[in-house]
């Protein structure tokens, strides 16, 4: 049996409490090199909160979090963040940089270009290669205000990859995208994962249709607690997704991508399914 890939992230019995309320309770997660995890759950489940811990942006109230072989609370998180690619679709850029300049800011981990800073030839080459990999090389001179949401999303992924991180974190990267832009971004992620097999990633979403086909694992969160975690085909089932969202949802997979469909609930009363819903047949390919 081959040796398991090295750990990139580990969260052990993590609690996060704010204002006397548990935002996360008893969460465990281990991510290894080459694994691509999806954090899925309803609004307010704690997905982005957990991503903040994994990105060394916040600290747990109890439990331990190890990121890239360093335990939070025992490491300079500013130095640690330089080795993590974090994609935030709400990137607060106000300057009309070109798309290539935006990607280059990933080398300095700043929002804007650093005054009097000049990228090295290697950094310029890396930026151009990433623009090409994400399919936006033709837009290298386009300015940030002129870009569509989809183009911005791919630019931010390229930016996050500039430091050559071992870990890529994506917080709802398809927010605000139309169907075409969403599909282009997800295809770009699939290509990226194939191109960099050692990269680990964690993606947050609350839509099954926004999960890239290359995803390998999933963690379902509800009200800050784990519903299920593990290989994606074992976790994203009709029964477990229904439990996570507290609503009857049928799950199927089509050409590697997940689809979800709510079951009929015409006789739903006080949170219980009536006979019509119980007889609603499973679609072809449904799992659970």
Q: What is the mean pLDDT of the chain?
A: 87
Enumerate the domain spans of the chain: 1-83+175-180+196-224, 237-288
Distance CA 230, CA 66 (A): 19
Q: What is the pLDDT of residues 128-174, one digit of tens each?
A: 999 988 888 999 999 999 998 888 988 999 999 998 888 999 998 88
In the predicted model, is pLDDT for residue 255 greater than 90? no
Residue from 232, 153, 148 nearest 185 by CA? 153
Q: 1-83+175-180+196-224 belongs to which homologous superfamily?
A: P-loop containing nucleotide triphosphate hydrolases (3.40.50.300)
Integer CA distances (angstroms), 122 to 11, 53, 104, 164, in order: 35, 31, 11, 12
Could you tell me what percent of the chain has a pLDDT over 90? 56
Distance CA 135, CA 76 (A): 35
DSSP 104-165: HGGGTT-SSPPTT----HHHHHHHHHHHHHTT-GGGTT-BGGGS-HHHHHHHHHHHHTTT--
**pLDDT interval class at 86 (50, 70, 90):** confident
Q: What is the reported pTM? A: 0.84
The answer to whether 154 and 136 have CB atoms below 8 angstroms apart is yes
For residue 33, count other CB atoms closer than 10 A to its CB. 15
Residue from 241, 81, 277, 98 nearest 168 by CA? 81
pLDDT value at residue 266: 57
For residue 146, count other CB atoms closer than 10 A to its CB. 11
In the predicted model, is pLDDT for residue 198 greater than 80? yes
Region class of 57: left (phi > 0), else alpha (psi between -120 and 50), else beta: alpha
């Amino acid at each position: 049996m081959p040796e398991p890939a090295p750990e990139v992230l580990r969260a052990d019995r993590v609690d996060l409490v704010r204002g006397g309320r548990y935002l996360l309770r008893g969460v465990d997660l281990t991510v290894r090199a080459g694994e691509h995890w999806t954090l899925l759950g309803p609004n307010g489940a704690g997905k982005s909160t957990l991503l903040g811990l994994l990105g060394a942006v916040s600290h747990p109230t109890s439990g331990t979090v190890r990121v890239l072989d360093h335990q939070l609370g025992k490491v300079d998180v500013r130095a640690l963040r330089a080795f993590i690619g974090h994609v935030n679709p709400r990137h607060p850029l106000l300057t009309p940089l070109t798309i290539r300049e935006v990607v280059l800011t990933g080398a300095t981990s700043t929002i804007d270009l650093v005054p009097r800073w000049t990228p090295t030839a290697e950094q310029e080459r890396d930026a151009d290669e990433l623009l090409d990999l994400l399919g936006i090389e033709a837009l290298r001179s386009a300015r940030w205000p002129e870009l569509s949401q989809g183009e911005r999303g791919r630019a931010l992924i390229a930016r996050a990859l500039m430091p050559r991180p071992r870990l890529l974190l994506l917080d709802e990267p398809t927010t605000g995208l139309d169907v075409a832009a969403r599909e282009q971004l997800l295809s770009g992620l699939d290509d990226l994962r194939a191109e960099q097999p050692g990269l680990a990633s964690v993606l947050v979403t609350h839509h099954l249709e926004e999960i890239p086909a290359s995803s390998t694992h999933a963690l379902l969160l509800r009200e800050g607690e784990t519903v299920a975690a593990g290989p994606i085909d074992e976790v994203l089932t009709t029964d477990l997704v229904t439990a996570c969202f507290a609503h009857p949802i049928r799950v199927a997979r089509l050409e590697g991508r997940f689809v979800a469909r709510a079951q009929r609930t015409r006789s739903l009363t006080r949170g219980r399914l009536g006979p019509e819903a119980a007889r609603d047949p499973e679609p072809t390919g449904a799992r659970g």
